[in-house]
Structure 1
Amino acid sequence: MFHSSIGLLRFTGILEGVSYLVLLLIAMPLKYFFDFPMAVTIVGGMHGFLFVIYVIMVAFVKFQKRWSVLWGFWAVLLAFIPFGTFYLDKQLKTK
């Protein structure tokens, strides 16, 4: 998985997707139902960092593979949808 730029994109996409799900399904309920806002602060910061790395990797692969701008927008848009990066990972597995 780490032997190509697509493999690195897949890895960062999986990390970003997992961090997004942890933020939505664990940290947010801890904040709003159990009055523990520190969970969102910690997980949100980690997710933000991983999101930036993911966008950088999308741009890198887009330019390296000479894929369309629409593909880059689609890949970034999927990061805003829960499980979206896992869908992209499935698509990238065939490339």
Structure 2
Amino acid sequence: MLNSPIAKFRFMGLLEGVSLLVLIFIAMPLKYFAGFPEVVTLVGSIHGMLFVMYVFMIAYVTFKIRWSFVWITSAFAVAFIPFGNLVLDAKLRKSRYS
């Protein structure tokens, strides 16, 4: 399943993207509307760890398959956009790298 560097990157992107969505759409509302700030602390820490791993995965893929600057910046930028990793994943599936 995770044989190629792109497959590993896509999996890491999925994890990081889901953690961002959980942070924004579950943890933040629980903090502000239900009074549970601890949830943001926990989910935010997990998301932060996954984000750092995602950035390292971008570097790994860049060195393994010689990604262009456009792919590198796109991969980094989508990490800050909700559902961005899903869009990048679809583009990667259609690209010459997969």
**Fold in common (TM above 0.5):** yes
The offset of 1:70, in angstroms, is 2.8
**Retained in 2: the 8 A contact 1:14–1:86?**
yes
Partner of 1:36: 36
Matched, 1:78 2:78: yes
TM-score in terms of structure 2 length: 0.91
Partner of 1:55, secondary structure, is: helix
**Unaligned runs of at least 5 residues, structure 1:** none
Partner of 1:82, secondary structure, is: coil
The offset of 1:69, in angstroms, is 2.2
More divergent stretch after superposition (12-21 vs 70-79)? 70-79
Partner of 2:54: 54
Mapped partners of 1:32, 1:83: distance in 2: 22
Mapped partners of 1:64, 1:5: distance in 2: 7
Percent identity among equivalent residues? Answer: 56
**Unaligned runs of at least 5 residues, structure 2:** none
Partner of 2:67, secondary structure, is: coil
Q: Which letter maps to 1:17?
A: G
Partner of 2:3: 3
TM-score in terms of structure 1 length: 0.94
Mapped partners of 2:75, 2:86: distance in 1: 11
CA RMSD of aligned residues (A): 1.0
Q: Which letter maps to 1:8?
A: K
